[in-house]
Structure 1
């Protein structure tokens, strides 16, 4: 049995993978050159069978088809940015409004906008199928004003210019989702996209089975026409573009970055893109498990295709010499740490001195303390000397006064 083999990265955190992109580790060949005695090993392990595979498209033709369909989008974005950066409010008001190209309504840019559009389309499809089976053939979609809504508390997301009839939803689902997987860092940001697309295709298949059973009850051609309008031609493709496609798409639509892009059935070059995807064997992804229960009690088992992951590693050719090198490296590191601690102790002793009892003696800190104590003592001695001089001068002035009074023949006061 032929098995698909794909490489597997080690279990690491998102932060470490992001750092590894800036400083990528050396490959097995380079590690063998650096270490000298490494031997490359490849171990095959079974992969999970429930993983939805990406549709790989590495050619340049697909990007050219997408660029051809985005005519006028780049000019619109440039004009909008120019109007946004107008220096004064008067200039912004007098500038002519830029016309929105029709193709813009059939494109979604960015991961969040594409997922939101897919979720809205999923909800619209579920409500439409339930309403059609329940007998609301002219059921208005959520968001439309007027009585007869199936869910009265549904949020009003957008207003339609005309009446929304069954089979013409207010917002179409993406038909093809392009993801620049190799340009997204970290890759875990887009790992959920295949499951979203596969769940949409699974819902579409289940809805088609329910509606066909409902249509065949009365063998009505009108019912079959409604089913075809609602379900037909809405399978979603998932395409992983080559590395560097993010900048190509961003340049085509005049945006800074475009890592995820979705297009609907109204996209101009949609049929050419689908024809190219069929030529390179890219089909709409479906969940790798049965979608419908079989009628028989003993169902025929369905086996998932075997997927193998190749885990790359290296082992030393001479384990004993590698162990001796590791022990020697540990000894060198211990000696280095010992010398470093010794230098730190010497520096501490030079700064604080040596410890006598509970106090430190000597050292630069002790010298500073001694100098401060001597200065404080000198200040106290100077203050005492100044006080003695002041008292002595007071006594001297009092004696002179008494002497003058005696000479004048008066009693001293």
Structure 2
């Protein structure tokens, strides 16, 4: 297999980094080079960034790929609240470490945003406030967490059905909004019904998380500082996409954390933390293969949503099912990496308990070994590898067949 990883850069090339160098640098910053081995779940998420959770297996693979953490340990960490799934940046859910719970929650959707749809359906704020109080009372009296169906039964007519118009607007009843507001305030939390992060069935329990000492401006600054550290550098547009901040707030946060502009050889401008500029100048990409199979929603890909930049030039025109892969905002399959460069794609075939993979330049012993390791891990820990809550073996069969055909 042809290597796409550059030789060690000089200071001059580091100050105008090439795409090849930036791929290896992001790989290193994400801890995918083995530097996070032996760390805890909290430590991995603090170093590499929050793991996107959409009812899929990404949080598990995020921790296994970087630190070899098995599912039973991850589930124990969730039970003990060392890590937790919370709504945060852009209102999206991520799995993050305990030290981030309070301020990360403040970055989610505001009460005004959450209530806007209900207001158009004739629901006033007082009705939702009363429902919130009733939910807290019911959960406080319960012996165990309650799922939405159980809550609805206990609350009875306090939960208003919003009819067909509500269904069209994604608000069939008033219950989800009230639950979302309580969760955003840290007054309740979601608990996976069977303890797993990849099943997306939840119950609710009281929480009482103390409020963050960071105000809105401080939380924005902290997120931008973390984000630039997780990525090793990002464009202003990429930062805005991840954080959901306005351009004005983004610029203010970048200035507050002392971020500096670094022109790249490709013509982009990255914002980087000053310490990372120095580290990049001294950075030498690994010489030997470092193979990882990651989820399509892994932090390496999703935090900057720049999958197209992670293909080598020779592979940018490759197609699968008549789609040019490098032109997709989000990968349709999971990526196989070597030191930050996508060298192939994969899906899990649960019927045959195997990974279907297409390696653009053929397989090496290191690739074969890692595929076998991930196959065994999925069989033993997960049973299947779902991308998101509605993913199923039948829904991905066409892509499994296409990867098999391409890999022949």
Query: What TM bracket, shorter-length normalisation?
Result: under 0.3
Give the TM-score, by structure 1 length. Answer: 0.19
TM-score, reference length from structure 2: 0.19
Choose between structure 1 and 2: higher helix proportion.
1
Higher RCO structure, 1 or 2 (CA under 8 Å, sep 6+): 1
Structure with higher Rg: it is: 1
